[in-house]
Amino acid sequence: MAYDLVIIGTGPGGYVCAVRAAQLGMKVAVVEKNPTLGGTCLNIGCMPSKALLHASELFEQAEHSFAKMGVSVPAPKLDLPAMMNFKQQGIDGNVKGVEFLMKKNKIDVIHGRGKILGAGKVEVALADGRTQLVETKHIVIATGSDIARLKGIEIDEKRIVSSTGALSLAKVPAKLIIVGAGVIGLELGSVWHRLGADVTVVEFLDRILPGMDGEIARQFQRILEKQGFKFKLGAKLTGIDTSGPTLAAKVEPAAGGAQETLEADVVLVAIGRVPYTEGLGLKQAGVALDNRGRVKIDPHFSTTVKGIYAIGDVVAGPMLAHKAEDEGVACAEIIAGKAGHVNYDVIPGVVYTTPEVSSVGKTEEELKEGGTAYTSGKFPFTANGRSKVNQTTDGFVKVLADAKTDRVLGVHIIGIEAGEMIHEAAVLMEFGGAAEDLARTCHAHPTRSEAIKEAALAVGKRAIHM
Ligand SMILES: Cc1cc2nc3c(=O)[nH]c(=O)nc-3n(C[C@H](O)[C@H](O)[C@H](O)COP(=O)(O)OP(=O)(O)OC[C@H]3O[C@@H](n4cnc5c(N)ncnc54)[C@H](O)[C@@H]3O)c2cc1C
């Protein structure tokens, strides 16, 4: 049977693209090499990490925060297999949800590894060893990304792990070294630190959370240090001696200098992710890659071959599930002859730690670099009533607005629930709103979101509660 659209990969990019295309009347099939649908995000990424972050956060609260609120409970005991089971139930629930969506939208699921033979032709190596040729008008590559590796460091997923292994450790490591102070490293570091690990983060750059607002990152580092995280910034891992009962990690200054050895039970390598195009046959099909191995696309997601498109982690842009989803929707709409579009200036980013960090739009560093005149309004949670009564006052909101037009260019939040709070800023920015619009929007009291309104008021130097 010939399809209108065949999508290779069922991560958030692929499965969302499939649903939207089916809604628009296309006959769609998805090809997935893994036994389960949902890609990195649902199986070994966003979802399992959030389940463990949630469970470990409550464990930590039961241990340290309940008593001061008058909730007296015995010291909590960790049942790690049960926590892992909680995580697995969450994964299963979400994966089944995607299976349901495929059925509901009459999307065929072909389990196997897809290879593009050329425009309109995908060959699938099925699990039972047979191959199936699938013919289609359009192809979308949504094959996502894989872990980035460090030269000379072999990941065994037991003692030297990637994020995948770090989501399934059999016991809490006494000492955990994390290589890379990005989002994934700090989230998984938080999980194991809350459960009792001594965590040291080694980062090549002289700051954590590269790419996020510098002031927010500095405050975040201070808070994590107060929690017990240790940071070795401007440092690089050069090797790991695995011969002993514990690992001996060799670390030296990024700029060169004396080497030191750090002991660890587990080393997590979290230095980023790389686009995944293995075995796709792109070269033979004429689909070009850029200098970083990403599939080259034009502004309409079209690759260098007509009728073949690409979306998500396998193309340029932030490696985020919601970016992949929005590209999936836009790409399906474009294939259907509609005006699909993604606004890359308004893609929120969240670090799901305690406190959370969230951001949308430009950082102060980016505005300075671009020579944009801007005003900044800040409001700390120490001055927000709801945060005060709940005694969750760490962090602040920062609103950056164009100095001439007052248009909001960026919003950055560090604090509990920051990940949920960022979206009012995203909506405002999507509509080209000004700090004045945000400041004059009535916010329910008492909420932490009032701090956003106050930060917007602070842009005009008229915050009320400060
Ligand atoms: C630990 C961790 C935590 C994360 N947390 C977050 C988060 O909180 N929020 C967020 O936004 N993002 C998060 N991410 C990133 C997020 O998972 C990715 O951005 C997202 O999954 C990208 O979606 P995608 O559809 O492009 O690709 P993927 O989700 O990687 O899916 C690609 C799919 O394609 C399949 N595939 C590949 N090649 C073939 C082939 N030849 N044939 C058939 N199938 C193939 C793969 O098996 C896979 O299922 C996290 C990532 C990790 C690792």
State the average pLDDT for the chain.
97
Amino acid type, 15: Y
* Atom 51 of ligand 1, residue of closest alpha carbon: 45
Q: How far apart are CA 201 and CA 227, in angstroms?
A: 13
Ligand 1 contact via 277 beta carbon (within 6 Å): no
pLDDT (tens digit, 9 = 90+) per residue, 53-71? Answer: 999 999 999 999 999 999 9
Number of H helices, E strands in the chain: 14, 21
Does the pTM surpass 0.95? The reply is yes
Question: From the CA of 190, how far away is ligand 1's center (Å)?
Answer: 22
Q: How far apart are CA 420 and CA 406, in angstroms?
A: 24
Q: How far apart are CA 153 and CA 169, in angstroms?
A: 19
Q: Please, how many CA atoms are within 13 Å of residue 262, restricted to the half-sphere of its CB? A: 27
Ligand 1 contact via 322 beta carbon (within 6 Å): yes
* Atom 37 of ligand 1, residue of closest alpha carbon: 143
Contact 54, 417 (CB under 8 A): no
Residue 127 confidence (pLDDT): 86
Q: Which residue has the tokens 């002991």?
A: 263
pLDDT (tens digit, 9 = 90+) per residue, 283-320? Answer: 999 999 999 999 999 999 999 999 999 999 999 999 99
* Atom 12 of ligand 1, residue of closest alpha carbon: 320
pLDDT (tens digit, 9 = 90+) per residue, 352-363? Answer: 999 999 999 999
The band of 13, judged by pLDDT with boundaries at 50, 70 and 90, is very high
pLDDT (tens digit, 9 = 90+) per residue, 117-130? Answer: 999 999 999 988 99
Average of per-residue pLDDT across 133-153: 97
Residue 267 confidence (pLDDT): 98
- Alpha-helical runs (H) found in 309-405: 321-335, 364-369, 385-390
Residue 351 has which token pair? 């670090």
Ligand 1 contact via 191 beta carbon (within 6 Å): no
pLDDT (tens digit, 9 = 90+) per residue, 69-83? Answer: 999 999 999 999 999
Torsional sign, CA 271, 276, 282, 283: positive
Average of per-residue pLDDT across 146-159: 97
For residue 282, what are the contacts with CB-CB under 8 A and spacing of at least 6?
116, 141, 288, 289, 295
Residue 292 has which token pair? 């970083």
Question: From the CA of 313, how far away is ligand 1's center (Å)?
Answer: 7
* Atom 5 of ligand 1, residue of closest alpha carbon: 46
pLDDT (tens digit, 9 = 90+) per residue, 273-284? Answer: 999 999 999 999
The band of 1, judged by pLDDT with boundaries at 50, 70 and 90, is low
Ligand 1 contact via 183 beta carbon (within 6 Å): no
pLDDT (tens digit, 9 = 90+) per residue, 242-260? Answer: 999 999 999 999 999 999 9
The band of 173, judged by pLDDT with boundaries at 50, 70 and 90, is very high
The band of 41, judged by pLDDT with boundaries at 50, 70 and 90, is very high
Average of per-residue pLDDT across 1-21: 96
To the query of whether residue 445 is one of the catalytic residues in this protein, the response is yes
pLDDT (tens digit, 9 = 90+) per residue, 363-403? Answer: 999 999 999 999 999 999 999 999 999 999 999 999 999 99
Q: How far apart are CA 171 and CA 78, in angstroms?
A: 10
Q: How far apart are CA 427 and CA 433, in angstroms?
A: 9
Ligand 1 contact via 163 beta carbon (within 6 Å): yes
